[in-house]
Chain A
């Protein structure tokens, strides 16, 4: 897009850094919940432009990272059924399960195919009527509308050999849980792409109930610096609020059509988050009326007992309590090419972002 260069201009970033220095007095701890932001902040080295009393902490907004190991184990068990073709976004491929990963299962002959879109999985289902095609649905509100659209499309096309194993989650309960669990913060950099769907209104409870601000940010350096500046202003004037920096695409109401599709296909259930535990009404289950497309209901497979990794600090990292570099395995036993924990697998994971941009520098 022709505007992108403008959002990267060095002098704009520096001018914003200067404004922040001039106006920020109080200590400020802000969390970027979204893995995309973690990556961009690290990549452009924005931390180094901020005064020492402003601290940026990474949060639980990488869907791969918060996905439970049990879900991976369930996916592996499904992929071992001879009639099943398992389809997944590439990010899940290398996440360690209790004793294997999808990548290892594929090497052993499991029919596991990486797709870019759920639409590709539907095509595979149409081409393989004698097989069952299962799609692994992970991600927040940015990704789940596509899954909803895919299920509706499968129903319309009569593709009854297609189903979804859903681990979709929603963001606000995690943001509330962090504060409830005692993580010390003054504000959030709100996720940009989740908010295109949900609108900014889903965060209204955060200033109201907790007195913290939320600024929904874009992903370019100037976007992020401007968002930090907006949070500085909120803090200095004692006015926590929900504000939209990323107003090129985010509105207060969001994408209503996508919200309708979500409402049609999914209902909320309690769900498990790595690091945060079980959060009430934070996961998206496929409604009974679409049970035909719910792989969790259609296939009863035996799942191995879940074993969590000893020594991996992902849970603490996701809560912003520990930095990846605090982990003894970081960069040694755990690297992006041989990850121990999920935070090192996904390109948006905090450990991967640190590994790529911090240790190398």
Chain B
């Protein structure tokens, strides 16, 4: 019940957003969102039929950049593993 799903807004009709989640369509009330309403193409988090927060794409992208830094670490690890012949993680 506590699960909330990220969904992409396809259309907006009044205070309801028609969203796609995976391949499925679902409706979400926009009543709980503050400030500027989201637009088609934006992502929102849906919980029990209500969009409860917009998802910041910048933050998501920033997290991904941090992950890229891990790729380097991964290469290092691979190298160490090759040299020592041991699995490190």
Name A residues whose Cβ lies closer than 8 Å to a Cβ of B.
1, 3-4, 6-7, 9, 11-12, 14-19, 21, 34-36, 49, 61-64, 89-91, 116-120, 138-140, 142-143, 145-146, 149, 153, 193, 196-197, 222, 247-249, 255-258, 261, 346, 348
Contacts and interface: CB of A to CB of B under 8 A. Distances in A.
A162 B75 CA distance: 60
A14 B89 contact: yes
A120 B49 contact: yes
Given A119-B49, A255-B34, A255-B53, A64 B1 contact: yes
Interface of B: 1-4, 6-8, 29, 31-35, 43, 45, 47-50, 52-56, 59-60, 62-64, 67, 70-71, 73-74, 77, 88-89
Given A89-B48, A146-B49, 19 more contacts: A1-B7, A3-B60, A4-B6, A15-B77, A19-B73, A62-B2, A119-B29, A119-B49, A138-B1, A140-B2, A145-B32, A248-B59, A255-B52, A256-B34, A257-B33, A258-B32, A258-B52, A348-B1, A348-B3
B17 to A, nearest CB: 13
A49 B48 contact: no
Contacts of B47: 142-143, 146, 193
B56 A149 contact: no
Contact of B2 (A7, A34, A49, A255): A34
Contact of B74 (A7, A15, A255): A15
A7 B55 CA distance: 15
B13 to A, nearest CB: 14
Which of A1, A12, A197 has the most chain B CB within a 10 Å cutoff? A1
A11 B34 contact: no
19 contacts: A1-B43, A1-B55, A14-B74, A15-B73, A15-B74, A15-B77, A117-B48, A139-B2, A140-B2, A143-B1, A143-B2, A193-B47, A196-B45, A197-B52, A222-B67, A249-B53, A249-B54, A249-B55, A255-B52
Given A11-B70, A118-B48, A248-B63, A35 B2 contact: yes
